């Protein structure tokens, strides 16, 4: 169509776009024109309505195009129709009320329970204070779902053995209480004994400290977590937050209510916690596809 040719010439001669970039614009616009001809028998811009553009978006999604790719194609089409409006070829922009698909948030990365069991029950963390501390840190992340800053911020007074709970300060300085069971209690007490003997003089009230007695840093925690997770998994992400995701996913897999997980994680909104339902459903689909004879 001559209007499309005029737009491409405008990009080349007035906007000085490269020929490679212009080719992308042309491909996107031609693809939409072909869809319009197939659907309504006409691709003339003045007959195009918002509904047709939305149907095109749906067809692209059905074909498996990524949201980012669809939005790029939509951007090409928007530029074309803005050009036509500026040239007086159109009086109404059919894309004005059309929105592209939202980019899917990546699902949280987590470890299998069997991997965590191997790490905590069968892996050698080494003797002495550091090995005891590192093992406990992994265990606390996995059984309490803390963020790194929350773990680093724990002081001795925040570990209440009488009530079997941790007092955690989360985002926005909001505090929450996280209960712990007998197994973690034994590990916490054993760590305190080892720490007090190995580092009798500490320069901080921090529960977890470096060997020099100072409070842990984010870098130290991230490094020790990555090193120890590498002993049981090869996945690219091996961060403390992976253990937080693992905590949430494990709780959900063992029938914990979503609202309870939200409170334990310190999420402000249930919508944030709901991402874990998608994670477990994806795992469920994998099991179903592998196991069901009629799939």
Catalytic residue ranges: 147, 171, 241, 244, 267, 276
Q: How far apart are CA 60 and CA 73, in angstroms?
A: 10
- Helices (runs of H) and strands (runs of E) counted in the chain: 13, 3
SS3 at position 214: coil
Paired residues of 168 in beta bridges? 176
- Strands lying side by side in the sheet with 159-160: 159-160, 165-169, 175-179
Token couple for 9: 């010439």
**Is 111:236 a contact under the CB 8 Å cutoff?**
no
Q: How far apart are CA 211 and CA 255, in angstroms?
A: 39
Q: Which residues contact 121 (CB under 8 A, 6 or more apart)?
A: none
**Is 78:95 a contact under the CB 8 Å cutoff?**
yes
């Amino acid at each position: 169509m001559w209007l499309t040719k005029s737009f491409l010439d405008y990009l080349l001669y007035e906007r000085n776009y490269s020929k490679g970039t212009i080719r992308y614009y042309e491909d996107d616009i031609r693809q939409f024109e072909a869809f319009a001809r197939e659907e309504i028998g006409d691709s003339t811009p003045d007959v195009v309505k918002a509904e047709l553009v939305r149907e095109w978006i749906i067809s692209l999604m059905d074909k498996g195009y990524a949201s980012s790719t669809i939005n790029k194609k939509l951007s090409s089409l928007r530029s074309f129709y803005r050009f036509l409006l500026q040239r007086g070829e159109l009086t109404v922009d059919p894309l004005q009320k059309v929105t592209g698909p939202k980019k899917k948030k990546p699902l949280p990365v987590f470890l299998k329970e069997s991997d965590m069991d191997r790490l905590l029950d069968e892996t050698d963390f080494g003797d002495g204070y550091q090995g005891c501390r590192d093992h406990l840190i992994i265990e606390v992340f996995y059984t309490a779902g803390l963020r790194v800053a929350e773990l680093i911020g724990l002081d001795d007074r925040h570990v209440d053995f009488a009530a079997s709970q941790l007092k955690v300060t989360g985002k926005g300085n909001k505090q929450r209480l996280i209960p712990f069971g007998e197994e973690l209690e034994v590990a916490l007490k054993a760590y305190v004994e080892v720490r007090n003997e190995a580092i009798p003089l500490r320069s901080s009230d921090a529960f977890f400290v470096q060997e020099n007695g100072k409070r842990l840093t984010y870098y130290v925690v991230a490094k020790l977590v990555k090193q120890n997770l590498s002993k049981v998994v090869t996945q690219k992400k091996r961060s403390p937050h992976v253990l937080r995701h693992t905590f949430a996913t494990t709780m959900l897999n063992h029938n914990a209510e979503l609202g309870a997980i939200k409170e334990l994680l310190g999420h402000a909104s249930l919508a944030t916690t709901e991402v874990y339902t998608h994670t477990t459903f994806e795992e469920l689909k994998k099991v179903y596809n592998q196991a069901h004879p009629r799939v």
